[in-house]
Structure 1
């Protein structure tokens, strides 16, 4: 990409910003992404990243999630690094109805009682994308650059007004940073923690269904590594792992898959989810400048990433 002023500046290089940048660049726009850190150092890189849209609120969540599901399936068929589509179970500790988004998914069927681990009373099988985020973000960045996009890393912007020094169109994908940058006090940090262990042989995922982000149990196989989760600490923005939370995660997961008790721990991950009462994807017409917001995805940033990127790109192309 030349040093000329880009058509669009994307703020943020997490999964929402990087995906939106790819869509814009591949649509022929000159795109620059500004962020403090490389994508694989972002909060997105710490995500367990199973496709599961339940923790975001917006009238278009189902459409965004369905679009993203389809793209992930296409990416796996292309051999895109970090993308797997595998079978597994989502289950609840209390009686519930099957969520609308789950019915009709590939491999869907309601579990028999014997299919469920102790403590769970209802669940369903389905096939879902699971993303190894560091590898995936590396490849997504390569795809952006191949399409002519540019990434610039440096100090955090003081305001969105400063972003217009780069381009007349700004797409705000700042995640939890939107709380201060917009500013938007409705954005709240929620810390999530995972434990990575050597996979003792699990080939299917298990995810606990809960109505809102909180203490939940999930096991996500990613080849030789198995990610164990999880936690959700509201208001906590410190990314340092908590040893007691990690021990509790391993204990809960061991009740479902006992071989985990002896599995070697190979790492810990923490990331900050950008919780918001509703996803914000909208256009602000500022006359000779345009601001498009794409943030507030709570725990569903990966699950909605391609659908939201498509909508944000459609807004830009229509200007």
Structure 2
């Protein structure tokens, strides 16, 4: 098999899809205006979502009727990469906690070592004082330490025959691209390249802070602990008064602190921002990202976090597309070419990257997805040496 396939976009979805197809025997080329490793100031490119992952492998803020299948496929590949010591893949003891009783999402059934939290154990789980009741759960969660994982993913693609061509793609030149099959992984650039049947194109703006060289947060069992924590709406809420969450994801390069979810429409981004903010390097962000995380980290880990610390702010977009069936993973004919769309991942671009790539493989191959999955695992084992670093 040597069919030429072009992938538009070099974010995590584009690179993962290209690598998957390359390992399955296709001849792939990624067309992209920007290569992620060449960008020094990511705040100049808020729509390039792969500059900003935290990156937990949890299907947050994404909408698809294929979610379970896509997630489980991705999860299995990430666990295999973990066994092979692929750079940046770690497993945390992750908590999702609320001060008011939440609805339990379906994905709780898909996570390993899931446990509901108990009020009798409050002192041993992330919380802010004074809190008498907590709701939620914990599970084992895969994390992709982004400063390690993304460069390694790109290198693996290039080392296995993949090609990247830096070129701005426009709607006018789609018909001139030198391949009969095109995979569209251009994210927020997709509606400018192809017609989109969705009326609304929703994006969610998020604020992140990076505290470099911060220590890993661990429990008495030596497990790295991360969390999403939602206080009562009076403490932290979105523009509609709905309770909002903060989080801390410890990585080898420091802590990633969040968060915010400010909904806007692609092409006319207007954000409702609270007057209750901190400001760093000219970037305003909800003050609760620092203040609440500081309380939680101090209470459980006896470690300090302050607005006076050296914190690096970032502001990026998650492309939700719409809340009915936001993920677009389908094919159509455009300019006599087969175009397979792979965008609208919301906050789950990393999480669903391998599952979406395998679904695309199913559309291209004459074999079932289980077979493609097994072949991909076999090929990954060949190209990722055990105990690599």
**Which of these residues, 8, 14, 17, is aligned with residue 14 of structure 2?**
17
1:31-180 correspondence runs (5 A)? 31-40=28-37, 41=39, 42-103=48-109, 105-113=111-119, 114=122, 115=125, 117-118=127-128, 121-155=134-168, 157-159=169-171, 162=174, 164-180=176-192
Distance 1:35 1:209, change over 3 A: farther
Q: Render the CA deviation track for 1:162-185: whole Å, top value 9, x for unaligned.
A: 265231111001111113222436
- 1:279 matched to 2:293? The reply is no
TM-score (norm 2): 0.73
CA contact 2:340–2:360 (8 Å) conserved in 1: yes
Distance 1:241 1:281 in 2: 38
Residue in structure 2 matched with residue 29 of structure 1 by the alignment: 26
Distance 1:138 1:129 in 2: 18
Distance 2:256 2:126 in 1: 20
CA contact 2:207–2:258 (8 Å) conserved in 1: yes
Distance 1:318 1:188 in 2: 35
Structure 2 unaligned regions, length at least 5:
40-47, 218-223, 232-237, 272-279, 368-389
SS of the residue corresponding to residue 109 of structure 2 reads coil
Aligned length: 312
Distance 1:214 1:50, change over 3 A: farther
Residue in structure 1 matched with residue 214 of structure 2 by the alignment: 199
How much has 1:55 moved relative to structure 2?
A: 1.4
- 1:218 matched to 2:232? The reply is no
Distance 2:340 2:35 in 1: 22
Distance 1:241 1:20 in 2: 36
Residue in structure 1 matched with residue 339 of structure 2 by the alignment: 291
TM-score (norm 1): 0.88
Structure with max Cα Rg: 2
Distance 1:97 1:139, change over 3 A: same
Q: Render the CA deviation track for 1:16-40: whole Å, top value 9, x for unaligned.
A: 1111000111111110111111134
Q: Render the CA deviation track for 1:42-92: whole Å, top value 9, x for unaligned.
A: 421211111111311111111111111111111122111121111121112
How much has 1:201 moved relative to structure 2?
A: 4.3
1:224-239 correspondence runs (5 A)? 224-235=253-264, 236=269
Distance 1:249 1:241, change over 3 A: farther
SS of the residue corresponding to residue 312 of structure 2 reads strand
CA contact 1:39–1:45 (8 Å) conserved in 2: yes
Residue in structure 1 matched with residue 305 of structure 2 by the alignment: 261
How much has 1:288 moved relative to structure 2?
A: 4.5
Distance 1:84 1:116, change over 3 A: closer
CA contact 1:190–1:237 (8 Å) conserved in 2: no
